[in-house]
Structure 1
Amino acid sequence: MDFSKYQCQFCGRPAKQYVFAAFCCESEDCVDKAREERGGPGGHMKAKMHGDIVNIKDE
C-alpha cells in the first residue's frame, strides 16, 4: 500500500501506517484517537454484539 497518497485522518500530516481502520501518521496521539474512534480495545467485536440474552434450559 502506498501511504504517500493518504493523509492522517486526525492531524492531516502524511500517513505512515494504517491502524484501527484509520490512516495515521506516526504520532502516538493520533493512533490513540484512532483506537478510541474504533471503540477501544475489542471495539470492532463489541459493535458486532447485539440482541437479547438467550436462556437455554435443559429439560
Structure 2
Amino acid sequence: MLSPIIDLISYRYEHQLPTIITSNLTPQQISEVYGKRIGDRLKVTTEIVPFLNGSYRG
C-alpha cells in the first residue's frame, strides 16, 4: 500500500529535516487520518502557526 504522506513525514523525522505543512485538519484529525504514530511525530517536531484570516475564496 502506498502512503506518500506517511513516508515523507517519517523520512524527514528520521533525518531531522525541517518540514512545512499546511492543513485544514486539527492535530486530533491528523492522528485519526494518518495514525497515532504520525500524529505523535508531528506533535513533537512542529510548531503550529494558526491563520485566523477569513477565506480568500469567493
TM range (shorter): under 0.3
Question: In proportion to residue count, which structure has more helix?
Answer: 2
Question: Greater RCO between the two (CA within 8 Å, min separation 6)?
Answer: 2
- TM-score, structure 2 length as denominator? 0.28
Question: In proportion to residue count, which structure has more strand?
Answer: 1
State which structure, 1 or 2, has the greater radius of gyration over its C-alpha atoms: 1
